Amino acid sequence: MAADGRRHVLAIGGIRLGDDAGRAPGRVPAMLAFAGSLTGKPAPRICVINTASGDDPAAYLRMQDALSTTSWQVSRLALFPMPTVADPEDLLLSADLIFVGGGSVANMVAVWRVHGVDRILHRAWQAGIVLAGVSAGAICWFGGGTTDSFGPDLRPFTDGLGMLAGSYCPHYDSEPRRAPLFRSLVADGTLPPGIACDDGAAAHVIDDDLAEIVADRPGAGGYLVDRAADGAATQTALPVRQIG
Protein backbone atom coordinates (compact mmCIF):
# COMPACT_ATOMS: atom_id res chain seq x y z
CA MET A 1 0.00 0.00 0.00
CA ALA A 2 1.14 3.56 -0.64
CA ALA A 3 2.64 5.46 2.27
CA ASP A 4 -0.47 7.63 2.72
CA GLY A 5 -3.01 4.83 2.21
CA ARG A 6 -4.37 6.44 -0.97
CA ARG A 7 -4.41 5.27 -4.60
CA HIS A 8 -1.56 6.60 -6.74
CA VAL A 9 -0.99 6.43 -10.50
CA LEU A 10 2.03 8.01 -12.21
CA ALA A 11 1.41 8.36 -15.97
CA ILE A 12 4.72 9.25 -17.65
CA GLY A 13 4.88 10.86 -21.09
CA GLY A 14 8.34 9.53 -21.88
CA ILE A 15 11.33 8.24 -19.93
CA ARG A 16 14.89 7.11 -20.66
CA LEU A 17 16.32 4.24 -18.65
CA GLY A 18 19.34 3.08 -20.65
CA ASP A 19 22.89 4.32 -21.04
CA ASP A 20 21.68 7.51 -22.74
CA ALA A 21 19.48 8.56 -19.82
CA GLY A 22 21.86 11.36 -18.87
CA ARG A 23 21.74 10.58 -15.15
CA ALA A 24 24.78 10.76 -12.93
CA PRO A 25 26.54 7.43 -12.25
CA GLY A 26 24.88 5.60 -9.39
CA ARG A 27 21.73 7.73 -9.58
CA VAL A 28 18.27 6.24 -10.09
CA PRO A 29 16.25 7.99 -12.82
CA ALA A 30 14.20 10.68 -11.13
CA MET A 31 10.82 9.33 -12.27
CA LEU A 32 11.55 5.90 -10.85
CA ALA A 33 12.83 7.41 -7.61
CA PHE A 34 9.65 9.49 -7.32
CA ALA A 35 7.41 6.48 -8.00
CA GLY A 36 9.31 4.49 -5.40
CA SER A 37 8.98 7.28 -2.84
CA LEU A 38 5.20 7.05 -3.07
CA THR A 39 5.36 3.60 -1.49
CA GLY A 40 7.03 5.02 1.60
CA LYS A 41 9.49 2.11 1.66
CA PRO A 42 13.28 2.41 1.36
CA ALA A 43 13.44 -0.86 -0.61
CA PRO A 44 10.11 -1.27 -2.38
CA ARG A 45 9.14 -4.40 -4.24
CA ILE A 46 8.65 -3.41 -7.89
CA CYS A 47 7.06 -5.68 -10.47
CA VAL A 48 7.78 -4.76 -14.08
CA ILE A 49 5.34 -5.57 -16.90
CA ASN A 50 6.52 -5.24 -20.49
CA THR A 51 3.59 -6.86 -22.30
CA ALA A 52 3.38 -3.85 -24.65
CA SER A 53 6.80 -4.69 -26.12
CA GLY A 54 6.07 -8.41 -26.36
CA ASP A 55 8.00 -8.97 -23.12
CA ASP A 56 11.24 -7.79 -24.75
CA PRO A 57 14.02 -9.00 -22.40
CA ALA A 58 16.08 -5.88 -23.16
CA ALA A 59 13.37 -3.69 -21.64
CA TYR A 60 13.52 -5.63 -18.39
CA LEU A 61 17.33 -5.51 -18.37
CA ARG A 62 17.23 -1.71 -18.75
CA MET A 63 15.00 -1.50 -15.69
CA GLN A 64 17.30 -3.81 -13.74
CA ASP A 65 20.27 -1.66 -14.72
CA ALA A 66 18.47 1.55 -13.73
CA LEU A 67 17.85 0.11 -10.26
CA SER A 68 21.15 -1.76 -9.88
CA THR A 69 22.49 0.64 -7.24
CA THR A 70 19.41 0.26 -5.03
CA SER A 71 18.15 -2.41 -2.68
CA TRP A 72 14.80 -2.51 -4.48
CA GLN A 73 13.41 -5.99 -5.05
CA VAL A 74 12.75 -6.28 -8.79
CA SER A 75 10.49 -8.92 -10.33
CA ARG A 76 8.63 -9.16 -13.62
CA LEU A 77 5.45 -10.56 -15.04
CA ALA A 78 5.89 -11.79 -18.62
CA LEU A 79 3.01 -13.33 -20.57
CA PHE A 80 4.84 -14.46 -23.76
CA PRO A 81 4.85 -17.28 -24.69
CA MET A 82 3.12 -18.13 -21.42
CA PRO A 83 2.97 -16.52 -17.96
CA THR A 84 6.27 -16.69 -16.10
CA VAL A 85 4.53 -17.39 -12.79
CA ALA A 86 1.76 -19.79 -11.85
CA ASP A 87 -0.14 -17.12 -9.93
CA PRO A 88 0.08 -13.62 -11.48
CA GLU A 89 -2.37 -12.30 -8.89
CA ASP A 90 -0.12 -13.28 -6.00
CA LEU A 91 2.91 -11.71 -7.71
CA LEU A 92 1.21 -8.40 -8.49
CA LEU A 93 -0.68 -8.01 -5.23
CA SER A 94 2.52 -8.62 -3.24
CA ALA A 95 4.28 -5.69 -4.98
CA ASP A 96 4.58 -2.17 -3.59
CA LEU A 97 4.95 -0.66 -7.07
CA ILE A 98 3.89 -1.96 -10.49
CA PHE A 99 5.63 -0.39 -13.49
CA VAL A 100 4.27 -0.87 -17.03
CA GLY A 101 6.55 -0.23 -20.00
CA GLY A 102 5.81 1.17 -23.45
CA GLY A 103 4.95 -0.36 -26.81
CA SER A 104 1.57 -1.35 -28.21
CA VAL A 105 -1.19 -0.39 -25.79
CA ALA A 106 -3.85 -2.16 -27.89
CA ASN A 107 -1.98 -5.47 -27.94
CA MET A 108 -1.09 -5.16 -24.27
CA VAL A 109 -4.62 -4.59 -23.01
CA ALA A 110 -5.98 -7.39 -25.22
CA VAL A 111 -3.43 -9.88 -23.81
CA TRP A 112 -4.07 -8.67 -20.27
CA ARG A 113 -7.78 -9.38 -20.66
CA VAL A 114 -7.13 -12.92 -21.92
CA HIS A 115 -5.11 -13.66 -18.78
CA GLY A 116 -7.24 -11.65 -16.34
CA VAL A 117 -4.40 -9.23 -15.60
CA ASP A 118 -6.73 -6.26 -16.15
CA ARG A 119 -8.86 -7.37 -13.20
CA ILE A 120 -5.79 -8.01 -11.05
CA LEU A 121 -4.45 -4.52 -11.78
CA HIS A 122 -7.78 -3.01 -10.78
CA ARG A 123 -7.58 -4.88 -7.47
CA ALA A 124 -4.00 -3.68 -7.02
CA TRP A 125 -5.11 -0.08 -7.57
CA GLN A 126 -7.96 -0.46 -5.09
CA ALA A 127 -5.53 -1.96 -2.57
CA GLY A 128 -3.28 1.10 -2.78
CA ILE A 129 -0.39 -0.48 -4.67
CA VAL A 130 1.36 2.31 -6.58
CA LEU A 131 0.86 2.05 -10.35
CA ALA A 132 3.23 3.71 -12.80
CA GLY A 133 3.98 3.44 -16.48
CA VAL A 134 5.26 5.17 -19.58
CA SER A 135 3.60 5.73 -22.97
CA ALA A 136 1.41 2.62 -23.45
CA GLY A 137 1.93 2.04 -19.74
CA ALA A 138 0.45 5.47 -19.07
CA ILE A 139 -2.44 5.42 -21.56
CA CYS A 140 -3.73 2.08 -20.26
CA TRP A 141 -5.05 3.43 -16.96
CA PHE A 142 -7.35 5.87 -18.77
CA GLY A 143 -10.21 5.30 -21.20
CA GLY A 144 -7.98 5.85 -24.20
CA GLY A 145 -5.45 8.03 -25.97
CA THR A 146 -3.33 8.34 -29.10
CA THR A 147 -1.36 5.30 -30.25
CA ASP A 148 0.72 3.81 -33.04
CA SER A 149 -0.53 0.33 -32.07
CA PHE A 150 -2.29 -0.04 -35.42
CA GLY A 151 0.53 1.10 -37.70
CA PRO A 152 2.94 4.00 -38.26
CA ASP A 153 0.12 6.55 -38.46
CA LEU A 154 -1.21 7.56 -35.05
CA ARG A 155 -4.80 6.60 -34.35
CA PRO A 156 -7.20 6.80 -31.42
CA PHE A 157 -7.32 4.03 -28.84
CA THR A 158 -10.59 3.87 -26.91
CA ASP A 159 -10.44 0.56 -25.03
CA GLY A 160 -8.28 1.35 -21.99
CA LEU A 161 -8.85 -0.01 -18.50
CA GLY A 162 -10.81 3.11 -17.56
CA MET A 163 -9.60 3.20 -13.97
CA LEU A 164 -8.94 6.92 -14.44
CA ALA A 165 -11.44 9.21 -16.12
CA GLY A 166 -10.67 10.87 -19.44
CA SER A 167 -7.90 10.24 -21.93
CA TYR A 168 -4.10 10.53 -22.04
CA CYS A 169 -1.51 11.50 -24.63
CA PRO A 170 2.21 10.74 -24.12
CA HIS A 171 5.19 12.08 -26.14
CA TYR A 172 3.36 15.39 -26.57
CA ASP A 173 6.48 17.35 -27.50
CA SER A 174 8.65 14.71 -29.15
CA GLU A 175 6.31 13.29 -31.83
CA PRO A 176 4.95 16.06 -34.09
CA ARG A 177 1.60 14.38 -34.84
CA ARG A 178 0.68 13.64 -31.21
CA ALA A 179 -0.47 17.10 -30.14
CA PRO A 180 -2.63 18.06 -33.17
CA LEU A 181 -4.21 14.61 -33.33
CA PHE A 182 -5.01 14.54 -29.62
CA ARG A 183 -6.61 17.98 -29.81
CA SER A 184 -8.67 17.02 -32.86
CA LEU A 185 -9.86 13.76 -31.28
CA VAL A 186 -10.99 15.61 -28.17
CA ALA A 187 -12.64 18.30 -30.29
CA ASP A 188 -14.71 15.82 -32.32
CA GLY A 189 -15.61 13.69 -29.30
CA THR A 190 -13.68 10.57 -30.32
CA LEU A 191 -11.74 10.91 -27.07
CA PRO A 192 -12.96 12.53 -23.87
CA PRO A 193 -11.02 15.51 -22.48
CA GLY A 194 -7.73 14.48 -20.97
CA ILE A 195 -4.13 15.05 -19.99
CA ALA A 196 -1.09 15.28 -22.26
CA CYS A 197 2.52 15.02 -21.08
CA ASP A 198 5.81 15.80 -22.77
CA ASP A 199 8.70 13.38 -22.56
CA GLY A 200 10.19 13.84 -19.11
CA ALA A 201 6.87 14.84 -17.54
CA ALA A 202 4.24 12.79 -15.72
CA ALA A 203 0.73 13.18 -14.39
CA HIS A 204 0.47 12.14 -10.74
CA VAL A 205 -3.10 11.11 -9.96
CA ILE A 206 -4.17 10.52 -6.35
CA ASP A 207 -7.40 8.60 -5.94
CA ASP A 208 -9.52 10.02 -8.78
CA ASP A 209 -7.98 13.48 -9.15
CA LEU A 210 -4.91 14.94 -10.83
CA ALA A 211 -2.64 16.01 -7.98
CA GLU A 212 0.24 17.51 -9.96
CA ILE A 213 2.49 17.36 -12.99
CA VAL A 214 6.09 16.44 -12.20
CA ALA A 215 9.07 16.72 -14.54
CA ASP A 216 12.62 15.40 -14.50
CA ARG A 217 13.98 17.92 -17.01
CA PRO A 218 13.54 21.66 -17.54
CA GLY A 219 10.90 22.60 -20.07
CA ALA A 220 8.90 19.36 -19.89
CA GLY A 221 5.23 20.12 -19.37
CA GLY A 222 1.76 18.74 -18.86
CA TYR A 223 -1.46 20.03 -20.37
CA LEU A 224 -5.19 19.76 -19.96
CA VAL A 225 -6.93 19.33 -23.31
CA ASP A 226 -10.66 20.02 -23.23
CA ARG A 227 -13.55 20.74 -25.59
CA ALA A 228 -15.07 24.22 -25.63
CA ALA A 229 -18.75 24.99 -26.09
CA ASP A 230 -18.16 25.78 -29.77
CA GLY A 231 -16.59 22.36 -30.34
CA ALA A 232 -13.00 23.57 -30.56
CA ALA A 233 -10.23 22.01 -28.51
CA THR A 234 -8.65 24.04 -25.74
CA GLN A 235 -5.21 23.46 -24.27
CA THR A 236 -4.16 24.69 -20.82
CA ALA A 237 -0.58 24.38 -19.55
CA LEU A 238 -0.55 23.01 -16.01
CA PRO A 239 1.84 23.94 -13.20
CA VAL A 240 4.92 21.72 -13.14
CA ARG A 241 7.06 20.66 -10.22
CA GLN A 242 10.65 19.70 -10.96
CA ILE A 243 11.91 16.50 -9.34
CA GLY A 244 15.35 14.95 -9.12
Tens-place pLDDT, residues 54-70: 999 999 999 999 999 99
- Of the residues 53, 135, 149, 167, only one is catalytic, namely 135
The verdict on whether 122 is a catalytic residue reads no
The verdict on whether 171 is a catalytic residue reads yes
d(CA 13, CA 172): 7
pLDDT of amino acid 26? 62
> Are 225 and 234 within 8 A, CB to CB?
yes
Spell out the residues 6+ positions from residue 206 whose beta carbon is closer than 8 angstroms to its own: 6, 7, 8
52 — pLDDT class (breaks 50, 70, 90) = very high
Topology of domain 8-242, per CATH? Rossmann fold (3.40.50)
Q: Is the pLDDT of residue 25 over 80?
A: no
Share of the chain above pLDDT 90, in %: 93
pLDDT digits (tens, 9 = 90+) for 182-225: 999 999 999 999 999 999 999 999 999 999 999 999 999 999 99
**Overall pTM > 0.85:** yes
Spans of all domains in the chain: 8-242
- Of the residues 8, 53, 104, 171, only one is catalytic, namely 171
